[in-house]
């Protein structure tokens, strides 16, 4: 089995348009959640979100590209550029033939669906742009990354709601670890902040109208975000041979299915995924210093997740740190695990733990060290990144300092 | 049909029971209505009466809208319907 390392990271989200900007915001505990701005927002009950601001797609992409790139693809390509440039990897010949791209997204081109439904239903038009289908398809982002960077190996999109990115990164990890691919581009993207995207979520009545306060007793729901996180996963010796900077090691993963309820999380399912990731990485529970929580800020997730952590880690649960950066960037749904992996990289590489902001009142059902409100310095050798999706599909990644 | 009968009909349908099996004292839990069933019932009530029910699944106790039993729900709906005009 090969060792797998991360040699490039890129992002765009409500905290920043790059990894350095995002990590700085996380260190400062800045909040990227604000009033949403888009058409018909006045008809929504939920009017806040972690929206990407100041992103001018028109200057970045040409006219032909704009007609093919939904916002989730634009985010993906922006983050992929940062990640691949940082990594310095170039895909030619055998490397290009065997390397691929596996990305996560829950909704794909949601705003393309929204715009075109509006056009035919509300505006009564009988014609849509010829590229609607290739623009909205869930694999559009993965395909455009493959086209842009000459990635000719295994490439596809994974869609498991809020765990999409983690499932995608687990797939990419497996391909590199098994030797099937020397490098993989992976991560995820989401852009659901449009009228239809938020309206659908409103129906479940799990969204907060004012803030995302994970683990805080007065939490009242999740807040959506948007953006992308993209990484270069590379075989360790391959990265060493070309002198690449290594951000951290991906040590293991596990996936589990609750096989129980379509929306309510399960303590057992979450616990099995965390314990499984440790076993796969050949780590002990006591090795873990930091967990990037799924931490959505809903009543159900946070208490279930804390109970699962207590179950897996026993007394060590009181010694480790667990934070939810969704409090800052919102819940990026299918892209969330990818942006949250950045907090794990910051913990492992820089020794800085991103805080859970908006924390106001302790909840006895979430009695863990949630790194409230202010970032903390700590040496972290092992971190976990949790993602527990609607549908009861869980994926946890284990990462190591290098 | 009165507001009360209409609300009971919606709840009964959600619980897969006859309306006569739904009493004012019944709680949603007794009727076997889970969190998803509750959200669906509230949606159906909103559609039936063209009102907006202030309910967040994250803080059922903290809501202005009392769902402790069927009678409380009916009282809440009657208030919202009367405020509509």
Average pLDDT per 10 consecutive residues for chain A, totaling 402 residues: 98 98 98 98 97 93 94 98 98 98 98 97 95 97 98 98 98 98 98 97 95 97 98 98 98 98 96 98 98 97 98 98 98 98 98 98 97 98 98 98 96
Q: What is the CATH number of the domain that holds B76?
A: 1.10.1200.10
**The total number of structural domains that make up chain B:** 1
Report domain extents, chain A. Answer: 4-241, 253-400
Contact A204 B39 (CB under 8 A): yes
pLDDT at A347: 98
- For A90-172, list the strands marked E by DSSP: 100-104, 156-158
Task: Tell me whether residue A248 is one of the annotated catalytic residues.
Answer: no
Q: Which of B39, B52, B56 sits opposite A220 (nearest CB)?
A: B56
What is the rounded distance in angstroms from the CA atom of residue A118 to the CA atom of residue A125? Answer: 9
For residue A314, the distance in angstroms to the closest alpha carbon of chain B comes to 27
A255 neighbors A394 (Cβ within 8 angstroms): yes
- Read off φ and ψ for residue A65, nearest 5 degrees: -65, -40
Same fold, A4-241 and A253-400: yes
Confidence of residue B57 (pLDDT cuts 50, 70, 90): confident
pLDDT at A59: 87
SS3 per residue for A141-156: HHHHHHHHHCCCCCCE
What is the rounded distance in angstroms from the CA atom of residue A350 to the CA atom of residue A290? Answer: 13
Percent of chain B at pLDDT > 70 equals: 96
**B52 neighbourhood in chain A, CB within 8 Å:** 45
DSSP secondary structure letter of residue A124: -
Q: Which of A205, A209, A262 sits opposite B57 (nearest CB)?
A: A205
pTM of the model: 0.95
Range of the structural domain that residue B12 is part of: 3-84
Contact B59 A299 (CB under 8 A): yes
Interface A-B, measured as beta-carbon pairs within 8 A, has a size of 36
What is A4-241's CATH superfamily? Thiolase/Chalcone synthase (3.40.47.10)
pLDDT at B65: 86
Is any Cβ of chain A less than 8 angstroms from the Cβ of B35? yes
Confidence of residue B85 (pLDDT cuts 50, 70, 90): confident
DSSP secondary structure letter of residue A122: I
- CATH no., domain A253-400: 3.40.47.10
**B62 neighbourhood in chain A, CB within 8 Å:** 220
Where residue A213 falls (left for φ over 0; alpha for ψ -120 to 50; beta otherwise) is beta
């Amino acid at each position: 089995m090969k060792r797998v390392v991360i040699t490039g990271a890129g992002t765009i989200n409500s905290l920043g348009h790059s990894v350095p900007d995002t990590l700085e915001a996380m260190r400062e505990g800045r909040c990227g959640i604000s009033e949403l701005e888009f058409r018909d927002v006045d008809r929504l009950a939920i009017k806040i979100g972690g929206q990407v601001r100041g992103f001018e797609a028109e200057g970045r992409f040409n006219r032909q590209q704009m007609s093919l790139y939904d916002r989730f693809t634009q985010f993906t390509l922006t983050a992929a550029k940062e990640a691949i440039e940082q990594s310095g990897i170039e895909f030619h010949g055998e490397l290009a033939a065997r390397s691929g791209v596996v990305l996560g997204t829950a909704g794909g081109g949601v705003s393309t669906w929204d715009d075109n439904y509006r056009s035919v239903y509300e505006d009564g038009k009988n014609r849509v742009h010829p590229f609607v289908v290739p623009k909205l398809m869930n694999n559009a982002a993965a395909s455009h990354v493959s086209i842009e960077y000459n990635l000719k190996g295994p490439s596809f999109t994974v869609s498991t709601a809020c765990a999409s990115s983690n499932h995608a990164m687990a797939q990419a990890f497996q391909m590199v670890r098994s030797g099937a691919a020397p490098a993989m581009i992976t991560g995820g993207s989401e852009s659901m902040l449009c009228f239809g995207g938020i309206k659908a979520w409103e129906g479940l009545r799990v969204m907060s109208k004012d803030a995302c306060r994970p683990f805080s007793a007065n939490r009242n729901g999740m807040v959506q975000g948007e953006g992308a996180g993209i990484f270069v996963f590379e075989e360790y010796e391959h990265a060493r041979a070309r002198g690449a900077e290594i951000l951290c090691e991906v040590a293991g993963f596990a996936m589990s299915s609750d096989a129980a309820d379509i929306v309510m999380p399960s303590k057992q399912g979450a616990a099995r995924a965390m314990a499984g990731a440790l076993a796969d990485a050949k780590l002990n529970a006591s090795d873990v210093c930091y967990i990037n929580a799924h931490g959505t800020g809903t009543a159900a997730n946070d208490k279930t997740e804390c109970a699962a952590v207590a179950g897996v880690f026993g007394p060590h649960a009181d010694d480790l740190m667990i934070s939810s950066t969704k409090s800052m960037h919102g819940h990026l749904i299918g892209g969330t695990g990818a942006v949250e992996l950045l907090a794990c990289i910051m913990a492992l590489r820089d020794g800085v733990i991103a805080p859970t902001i908006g924390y106001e009142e302790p909840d006895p059902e979430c009695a863990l060290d949630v790194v409230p409100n202010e970032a903390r310095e700590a040496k972290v050798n092992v971190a976990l990144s949790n993602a527990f999706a609607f549908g009861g599909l869980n994926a946890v990644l284990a990462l190591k300092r290098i | 049909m009165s507001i009360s009968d209409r609300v009971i009909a919606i709840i009964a349908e959600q619980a897969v029971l006859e309306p006569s099996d739904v009493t004012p004292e019944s709680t949603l839990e007794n009727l076997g209505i889970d969190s998803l069933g509750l959200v669906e019932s509230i949606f159906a009530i909103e559609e039936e009466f063209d009102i907006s029910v202030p309910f967040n699944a994250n803080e059922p106790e903290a809501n202005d809208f009392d769902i402790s039993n069927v009678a409380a729900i009916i009282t809440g709906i009657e208030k919202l319907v009367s405020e509509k005009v």
